[in-house]
Amino acid sequence: MPPEPESPFEQQLVAHRDYLLKFARLQLRNESWAEDAVSETIVAALSKPQAFGNRSQLKTWLVGILKHKVIDIFRLHARTVVLETDPDAGHANDELDALVFKANGHFAQPPANWGNPEQDLQSQQFFAVLEACTEKMPPAMGRVFLMREWLELSSDDICKELGLSATNLYVTLHRARLRLRECLELNWFGARPQSR
C-alpha cells in the first residue's frame, strides 16, 4: 500500500492521477505504458514543484508533462508499433471512400447539423462519446490520429517516429477523421434532440 501523500501539493497530484491515467491509456492503448507515463509525470512534478508556479491550472500543467512522457514512450517503443494488421484494410477503406464521396470529391450526403460545437466541447458527455469513438478506431489509426490531433506532433515527427511516408500519414489521418465524423454523427449529433 503506497504511503499517504504528505503535502497539499502531493495530495493534489494524487487527486489528478485517475484523469492522467485515463488520458495516457487513451493515447498509448497499453496499460503498463500508461502507468509508466503517469508515474514519470508525477515524479517529474514532485521533483520540480517550483516549475508549476500557479501560472496555469495544475491539471493543465500535469497534462503538459504527460504529453512529453507519452511522446518519450512512443519513441522508446516505436519499433513495436504495428501499422497495418489487416492486409485487406486498404481495400476496405477504398470502398468506404467510394460510399462516402462522389467522384468529384464532395461528400455524397452533406454532413449532419452539428448544432453548437463550442457548447458541446464543454459537455463531459460529448468527451465520453469522443473518447469511445477514438477507441473504436484500429489501434494504428487511432495512435496516428491522437499523435497529430491531441499531442499536436508535427507530421514530420509522426512520420519519423512511426516510420511512415508523408502520403501514408495523410491517408491514415483522412480515414481517421472520416471514421470519427461517422461515429460522432451516429452516437452524438444524430442521437440527440435537435433542440440543442
Assess if residue 147 is contained within a domain: yes
C-alpha cell at 19: 484523469
Helix (H) or strand (E) holding 150: none
* Residue 49 and residue 14 in one domain: yes
pTM: 0.50
Alpha carbons 158 and 166: distance in angstroms, whole number: 9
Q: Say yes or no: 108 and 173 in one domain.
A: yes
Note whether 60 and 98 are same-domain residues.
no
| Three cell numbers written together for 115 | 448544432
- Picking from 60, 79, 98, the residue at the C-terminal end of a domain is 79
pLDDT tens column, 36-56 = 999 999 999 888 877 777 676
* Domain presence at residue 194: no
Residue whose C-alpha cell reads 491515467 in the numeric block: 21
Whether residue 98 is found in the same domain as residue 164: yes
What is the residue type of 162?
Answer: L
State whether 179 and 162 are in the same domain: yes
Is 101 within the bounds of a domain?
yes
Domain coverage including residue 130: 81-189
- Write down which residue in 57, 79, 101 finishes a domain: 79
pLDDT one-digit tens code per residue, 150-184: 888 899 988 988 889 999 999 999 999 999 999 98
Q: What is the pLDDT of residue 3?
A: 58
Side-chain-side CA neighbours of 21 within 13 Å: the count stands at: 11
Q: How many domains does the chain have?
A: 2
Q: Is the residue at 62 inside a domain?
A: yes
Q: What's the CATH code of the domain at 68? A: 1.10.1740
